[in-house]
């Protein structure tokens, strides 16, 4: 499937706002690719498709996770939206023919981050937070950091996400905590 076909299929499945966000993530991820010395094609596809399952209702995410035999953590049962990366990966494999393991890993990990992330996964994680369509001051700061120093950008994003989650009284996914701790201890996720 070429990029045009992927875009038109995706736009038929997402709300206009989510589709615009997906285009924003794609554009920023492609701009970051040469800075982090990877080719532009994987960030283009992963950025565009990262939220393919983001608008599925909670119950459907849980039942698809069950059907796809995705192991579901207790926190993911409580907050099924956390599964939209993992469920998205299975949908992309089965229905879209997207099989590149690095693209699929980046889509799986963009929701929480993880202590081990490829450069592509890091780019998608950063671009998801920093794409300009979010219109947040935090996104703008993260975007500026991303063009200067990848680890500073990641560190900033984890801190912002964790503070947001704490302030809203929600549960923190263990991957997010582990990723942030590893970044502080080793200065890297790869």
The residue ranges that bind Fe ion (CB under 5 A) are: 51, 54, 128
CB of residue 11 to Fe ion, shortest distance in Å: 15
CA distances from 59 to 65, 78, 84, 185, 186 (A): 10, 11, 12, 37, 38
Q: Please give the helix or strand (H or E) that residue 101 lies within, else none.
A: helix 101-109
CA distances from 22 to 5, 29, 45, 91 (A): 15, 10, 10, 17
CB of residue 185 to Fe ion, shortest distance in Å: 26
d(CA 25, CA 74): 29
CB of residue 123 to Fe ion, shortest distance in Å: 13
d(CA 155, CA 149): 10
CB of residue 53 to Fe ion, shortest distance in Å: 8
51 or 76: CB nearest Fe ion: 51
90 or 128: CB nearest Fe ion: 128
CA distances from 103 to 39, 62, 92 (A): 12, 23, 10
19 or 188: CB nearest Fe ion: 19
52 or 184: CB nearest Fe ion: 52
């Amino acid at each position: 499937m070429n990029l045009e076909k992927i875009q038109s299929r995706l736009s038929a499945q997402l709300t206009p706002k989510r589709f615009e966000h997906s285009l924003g993530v794609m554009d920023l991820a492609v701009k970051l690719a040469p800075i982090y010395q990877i080719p532009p094609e994987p960030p283009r596809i992963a950025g565009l498709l990262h939220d393919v399952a983001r608008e599925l209702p909670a119950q459907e995410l849980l039942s698809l996770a069950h059907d796809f035999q995705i192991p579901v953590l207790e926190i993911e049962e409580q907050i099924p939206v956390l599964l939209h990366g993992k469920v998205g990966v299975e949908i992309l494999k089965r229905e879209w023919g997207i099989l590149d393991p690095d693209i699929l890993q980046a889509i799986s990990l963009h929701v929480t981050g993880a202590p081990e992330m490829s450069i592509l996964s890091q780019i998608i994680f950063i671009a998801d937070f920093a794409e300009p369509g979010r219109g947040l001051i935090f996104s703008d700061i993260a975007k500026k950091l991303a063009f200067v120093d990848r680890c500073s950008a990641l560190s900033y994003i984890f801190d912002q996400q964790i503070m947001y989650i704490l302030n809203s009284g929600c549960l923190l996914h263990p991957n997010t905590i582990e990723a942030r701790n590893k970044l502080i201890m080793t200065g890297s996720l790869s």
